[in-house]
Structure 1
Amino acid sequence: MNDFAVSDMNPSFIGIGRLELLQSFESRPNQAIGLPGDMPVLMCPVAASDADCFAMKEGRGNFGFGTIQLRQGLVQSIRVQVNDVQIYWLADMTDPEVWAAIDKWRKAKEALVQFNVRGQPGEPGHSVFLKPGVPQGTYRNEQFRNGPAPSAQHIWDGMATLAQTGILEQQAESDIEGVPLRRVFVNLLLTERFKPCVDVNEMVEKPVHVQPVFGQGIVY
């Protein structure tokens, strides 16, 4: 599975990530050794112009979760950082598909992440896989997992607006002590709950590049 999709929401584009089962991949990466076939793979689209941010040979990493309060409801942020690059996936806090994935990652003590890097025109793309460790124990945002589900369209629109504003890029803080952020990427996590909210026929291939101005202030 190598879907690359970005929602066309004028005036900017928004990256759309997905969850796919490992067993749906034609060939498994080396990082998948020891993981069960029903392990959800967290996927993220990457434009060819951003490929240099995902040339990850080695380095320090972090995998975590957070909570963002929007007028439309609570949003769960899934956050991966490798060296000085940080990636967000935004999801409905009550989405059972997301919590099922988290439960499987937590049980395995690892997650599998795939960055789908688009090739330059006329060139094939490639994938970069990571297998970060997953925090154990009960998460603070777990108290909200069985709360009333907001309207799918309303929470999707709220997450899309948040992604378009560039606030997350501007206020992101490094999860790795002593490593300042160079780039931040934000995706919406497209699960079954949200597919009626997205016109797949109008998806495009290049996500917006928002130049981050790093600071403080967002609450997780």
Structure 2
Amino acid sequence: MNGIEVFDMNPSFIAIGRLELLQSFESRPNQAIGLPDDMPVLMCPVAASDANCFAMKQGQVNFGFGTIRLRQGLVQSIRVQVNNVQIYWLTDMTDPEVWAAMDKWRHAKQALVQFNVRGEPGESGHSLFLKPGVPQGAYRNEQFRNGAAPSAHHIWDGMATLAQTGILEQQAESDIEGVALRRVFVNLLLTERFKPCVDFDEIVEKPARVKPVFRQGIVY
């Protein structure tokens, strides 16, 4: 995927992240050295206008997980911070595909993240890779791992609404001590569980920066 992949939601756009196995890549990045073929790669679309936020040759990196409580159910947040830029992926807390990926990352003590940067009009895009360290031991949100799964459509709609409100961008706190956040990006993580929730005819490539719509009434 070389473009920014988004879901059209009348009228804002929501960025869609994915999990892809490393073995599906035609060529491996240098950051993948030492990782197994079945390592899940966490993917994030980036608009060309935001490419400068992902210049990661040097800097501090944090990788972690969190819990967000919505009316529709519990949401798992996967969070990466690179210097003063923070990226969220939102998914159902009980999604076995996500927990399997987390188990792989925890076992390897590292994750692999791909930022797909769309090119300017007439230019090809490119990818940036990051291999952050992964927290070890038990995770606090693991207590919810085997809970009753909510309706996929209901939790997807709740996450989509949350992504559109801009609340996460407003309330996000830095995971790196002494580093104030400059930008926050929010994705929905499209796993097999959620594919029936998405009209793939409505997924398009847009080179524009996402502008959130602010709403009230989200319950954490």
Give TM-score scaled by structure 1 length: 0.94
The residue aligned with 1:181 is 181
Change (3 A) 1:132 1:2: same
| Alignment match, 1:215 | none
2:62 is matched with 62
Give the CA deviation at 1:181: 0.4
TM-superposed CA distance for 1:56, in Å, is 1.4
Deviations, residues 15-64 of structure 1 (Å, cap 9, x unaligned) = 00000000000000000000000000000000111111112111001000
For the 8 Å contact 2:19–2:42, the answer to whether it is kept is yes
Matches within 5 A, 1:115-134: 115-134=115-134
Tell me the amino acid that sits aligned with residue 70 of structure 1: L
Map 1:105-124; keep pairs closer than 5 Å. Answer: 105-124=105-124
Provide the identity percentage: 85
How far does the alpha carbon of each residue in 1:85-116 deviate from its partner, in whole angstroms, 9 at most, with x for none? 00000000000000000000000000000000
1:88 matches 2:127: no
- Whether the 8 Å CA contact 1:47–1:205 is kept in 2: the answer is no
C-alpha RMSD of matched pairs (Å):
1.6
Letter in 2 for 1:144: F
Structure 1 stretches of 4+ with a deviation exceeding 3 A read 1-4, 209-212
Aligned residues of 2:69 and 2:75 also touching (Cα < 8 A): yes
Query: Does structure 2 conserve the Cα–Cα contact (< 8 Å) formed by 1:169 and 1:210?
Result: no
Count of residues paired in the alignment: 214
1:29 aligns with 2:15: no
Contact 1:156 1:194 survives alignment (8 Å): yes
Where 2:204 maps in the other structure, the secondary structure is coil
Return the letter of the residue paired with 2:76: Q
Quickly say closer, same or farther: Cα 1:7–1:153, change in 2 above 3 A.
same
Find out whether 1:209 has 2:211 as its counterpart.
yes
